[in-house]
Every structure is written in structure tokens, then in C-alpha cells.
Amino acid sequence: MKKIALLLFLSCGSIYSFAQGTFSGDLMMNLNFFQRDSSIKASGNPLYNNYLSGSEGWLDLRYNIKGFTFFVRADAFNNSNLKNPTQANTAFGIGAWSVSKEMKDLTINVGYIYDQIGSGILFRAYEDRGLLIDNALVGISLKYKLTNNISVKGFTGQQKENNLSGNNNPLTISQKYAPVIRAFEGDGDFNVGKVHLVPGVGVLNRTLDAASYTTTSAAVPRDANGNGLFTPVYNMYAFTAFNTLTVGNFSWYAEGSYKTQEAIATPADSIVNKPGNVEYTTIGYAQKGIAINLTGKRTDAYVMRTSYGEKLLDGMLNWQPIVARLRTQRLISRYSPASQDYSEMAGNADVLLSPSEYVNYELTYCHINTLDNVQLYREGYAQAEYLKWEKWRLMGGGQYLVYNTSVYLQHPGAPMLYAETGFAEATYKFTSNKSLRFEAEYMNTKQDYGSWIFALIEYNLAPKWSISASDMYNIVPNKNSDNPNYDVTTGKVPNPSHYYNIYTAYTKGPNRFSIAYVKQVDGINCSGGVCRYEPAFSGVKATITSSF
């Protein structure tokens, strides 16, 4: 890997000697300082007991010249808790590199490729640093524009494995899953009268390696004679077709995808031999004063992994759109529903009303079950915004929530969570670049931790400064044993804690610096529709971002 990166920059230097191109890059660094606090369960692991600090850093470099684009990214993890929030991982190396060349209608890309087919249901290679998702395809990609309306692309390679093993091996961050992936996509862009159509099709083949096949075979259940109940396959094939139709104020996206039979893991961690399918659609209509959006998704055993043995965020070949809206309110966002790739029937309806230029209303209803009609998620949401006063922006609303904690939080046997949350927000503009924002929320629930209250005040001096302080308090604790704080020794729930957050950010040109003192309760963290559980945190978080 080091030799490849060196060759990449030597090539850049050689080309630079003949003609001058453009050079750019960006830097991102996270620093965590861990302060032990056993009262909120921020303790009991090496981060709080021994290491006390950790960091992650990514440096991207790009060079463009005569249709060539050279890219390389250095990744550094030092006692990082991104891969496993309760463990320290250290690794350094070239996290990604690529060389691409545009030649009229043909584009060639070699190296670490980030791309997707359709909405990503069939295949999506992407990076999300907040969740440490980096499933780039390591291989080669070709894109060709057949006509002004039709283009095709194909790629082949292996998926990157984010294996931060913590053994200080500089190559651990550049490992690859052994199975081989091949895919093809064709896209169109047509106008038929007043109708605009953007259709597409995609095909994917994943071939297991011998070791992955052996692991899968060993997991197959046996009958009384010791014979496997089914024989795994080396090759899985998947197909998708999609289209966006736009006419006037109306738009409709629809996609259907099917994968052939293979060994997959169930939510109960057993192994079955099944095909899978997904149907996804979103319909939108907008005109002055009203906008309506309807979304639906049906998923049946559509588990797309590099191999059977991969779990959670590892070995994901695709990304399934999340139907529910991910809310920004601190208390509501604790109970965000992740897409279910094994069994899900989901529908969502959004209505935005603007009866005048000063008033906006948002209404949402979301309904998610499994295919066996097990209740997963319900949301009724209403929000109003008032903008008539020149210096004030007022917003408030409420949510009714039903949330399956057993599935989403992976707490087997936990009761269904029912919650009502009210929230209000007010922003006052002193001048065009100075504002003060206040936010308050109250969540009433008898499950999980119990009821919460949250308050935040934020001062912004654009474009340089942002300062905020907030507190989240478990005002009415759940006294039952399903409370995560329940002490089995005493049979009681400890007194509730305050969860403070004091935050400051400074921006100067392309550089941004932030630092925060954080007390964070354990719960769900979501980004881009992908969610994961994170334990409690206590300490200081700092971030530096810069571009050049």
C-alpha cells in the first residue's frame, strides 16, 4: 500500500513537471478526553480506566490535471473508540487512494471507489466518519456515455474492511473482504412531452471465497444424520430496476430489487437459505401553500453482506433508505428507527402547509411493522413555525411515539416504549449576524429511563462564533427493572443525573475549531439513515476541520 501511494505521488510530480494542475485537500481531526463518571456508566473500560484520551484524523489530498484526478487519504486512529465505543483501537495507514481519467465519453477509475446503483438498495460504497463506515470498493470502475441520454457503468473489486484491530499494524486499515463483487448499471434521461423520465437498471454478482464458503457451510443446521439442511452457494445475484418520473408539480420515484437464494442471518442470529426482495417508492406533490410526500418500503430477507458471518455495520454491500424522518430534537432523536433488512413494512406521510408567508405547518405519520405484523414503530408528529415578527422566529410542536426497544435497541424482552414529547424553540436576531436561540423539550414515558426534560441556549455570531449550553435531566425515572440503570443488587434505580453539554465553535475562512464538555446518556446515534447504539460518554470532545 505504501508503494502504491508513493507511486501515486511520483506520478503527480512527473506530470507536474510538464504542466501545472490544481491541488486541493481537507483535514478532519477528532479528539476525545475521557473523564470517568460511574454514575452515568461512563466507566469500566480501558478508555476511562487507562488511556484517558483518543483521536482520529483523516487527510485528503487531490490533484487534477489534464483529465487525471489523483486522490490519496491518510487515516490515523490513536486509542480511538469509533470502531468499538468501549475499546481503544490504534492504526495508521493509507485509508484510500484512486486514480481516475476522463477521456471524452469514457471515465476510468482505479483504486478505492465510492459509488452506488440507484438509491443504494442494490449497492452503495460510501464513507460515514461519524459511524466509521468506510466500505469502499477496491478495484476498477468504467463509466461510458453511450448517447446524450444513456450512460452505463461497471465495476469489479473487493470491499474494504475497517478492521481496526488495535495491534499498531500500519496495514490494518487497508484490509479487504475476500469475496469478489461485480456490478453493472445502465441509466437514462428522457423527456416525453411534458414528462421527464430517469430510468435505470442494475445487476450485481458476489462470489464467495473458499474460506467464507467453509465458514458458511459450518453454520448450516444439521439433521439427525448429520447432513446439512441446505447447501450454500458461492454466487449470489441481485437485480434492480428504478425510475424517477416528473411532470409539473408531481414526482414519483420507484425501485424494485431482487436477490437470489443464499445463506443469510436472521435477527435471531440463526441461518436460513432464502431469496430476498425490496420494493421502495416515494411520491411527492408541491404547489404554492402545500407540499405532500408519501414514502413506502417493503423488505423481505434482503440481507446484502460480503458473506454470512458479517454483522452490524461490517461487510454491508448496500444501504436501505430509512422511511421514518430522523428528527433533530435531542430527546426525540434518542429513539430513531434503523431500517430493517430482514423484515419490514414501512409507510410515511408528510404534509407541509403554508397558509401565509408567515406561518408553516408540518404534519407526519409513520407506521412500521415486520412482515409478520409485529409492531416496530409509530410516529404522529406536528410542528408549527411563526415568522411574522422581524426579529423573532418561533417554532413548536409535539410527537407521539411507539418504539420497539427490543428490536431497535437490541434489548430482548424489553417492553414497547410509548412516549409523548412537546418542544418549543425561539430565535431572536439582534442584528443580521447576531442571534440567540432557546430550545426546550419534555418527553413523557414510563419505559426505558423514564421521562426527560431538555433545555438549550445558543448564541451565534456569524460567521465566526457559536456558543451553546444545554442540560438533559431524567426528571421522572422509570422505577422498574427495564430501566437500563436498574441495580440488580439493590433492586433500585439510582438517583437521576444531569447530562450537560457546553459547546464552542470558531470558524475562520476554511478552518473550523470546536470544543465541548459532554455528559451523554447511552443511546442511539444516527447518521444518513444508519443508526448504532453508543454507550454513555463523559469528558471533552474537540474537532478540527480545514480545507485548502
Cβ atoms of 419 and 336 within 8 Å: the answer is: no
- The string of DSSP letters for 104-155 reads TTEEEEEEEE-EEETTTTSEEE-EETTTTEE--EEEEEEEEE-SSSEEEEEE
Strand partners, 346: 297, 368
E strand spans, 189-249: 190-192, 195-207, 235-247
Contacts of 261 (CB under 8 A, 6+ apart): 233, 273, 274, 275
pLDDT of residue 38: 86
Contacts of 527 (CB under 8 A, 6+ apart): 128, 130, 131
Q: Where are the alpha helices (DSSP H) in 165-239?
A: 210-219
The region, left, alpha or beta by phi > 0 then psi within -120 to 50, assigned to residue 465 is beta
pLDDT of residue 467: 96
pLDDT of residue 45: 87
Cβ atoms of 33 and 539 within 8 Å: the answer is: yes
Q: What distances in angstroms separate CA 95 from CA 69, 84, 184, 385, 497, one per listed residue?
A: 17, 18, 25, 44, 40
The DSSP letter of residue 495 is P
Instruction: Provide the pairing of β-strand 127-128 with 123-125.
Output: unpaired
Strand partners, 446: none
Nearest partner of 30 among 94, 67, 79, 71, judged by Cα: 79
Query: Which residue has 437498471 as its cell numbers?
Result: 201
Q: What distances in angstroms separate CA 164 from CA 56, 93, 172, one per listed residue?
A: 12, 11, 6
Strand partners, 72: 61, 97
Q: What is the pLDDT of residues 247-291, one digit of tens each?
A: 999 999 999 999 999 999 998 888 999 999 999 999 999 999 999
Cβ atoms of 336 and 418 within 8 Å: the answer is: no
pLDDT of residue 164: 64
- The H or E element that residue 9 is part of is helix 2-16
C-alpha to C-alpha distance for 241 and 60, rounded to whole angstroms: 34
Cβ atoms of 466 and 458 within 8 Å: the answer is: yes
**Tens place of pLDDT per residue across the chain (548 aa):** 445 454 445 445 544 444 588 999 999 999 999 999 888 888 888 999 899 999 999 999 999 998 899 999 999 999 998 888 888 888 888 999 999 999 989 999 999 999 999 999 999 999 988 888 899 999 999 999 999 999 999 999 999 987 665 444 444 566 889 999 999 999 999 999 999 999 999 999 999 999 999 999 998 998 888 888 899 999 999 999 999 999 999 999 999 999 999 999 998 888 999 999 999 999 999 999 999 999 999 999 999 999 988 887 888 999 999 999 988 899 999 999 989 999 999 999 999 999 998 999 999 999 999 999 999 999 999 999 999 998 999 999 999 999 999 998 888 888 999 999 999 999 999 998 999 999 999 999 999 999 999 999 999 999 999 999 999 999 999 988 888 888 888 888 888 889 999 999 999 999 999 999 999 888 776 555 556 677 888 999 999 999 99
Amino acid at position 453, single letter: I
Quick count: other Cβ atoms within 10 Å of Cβ 270? 10
Nearest partner of 329 among 467, 456, 500, 462, judged by Cα: 456
Q: φ and ψ at 462, to 5 degrees? A: -70, 145
Amino acid at position 523, single letter: G
pLDDT of residue 527: 53
Amino acid at position 362, single letter: E
Cβ atoms of 96 and 62 within 8 Å: the answer is: no
- pTM score, two decimals? 0.88
Q: What is the pLDDT of residues 378-391, one digit of tens each?
A: 999 999 999 999 89
Strand partners, 383: 362, 397
- The string of DSSP letters for 175-189 reads EE-SSEEEEEEEEE-
pLDDT of residue 165: 55
Q: φ and ψ at 407, to 5 degrees? A: -85, -55
Tell me how far the alpha carbon of residue 492 is from its chain's centroid: 36
Amino acid at position 461, single letter: L
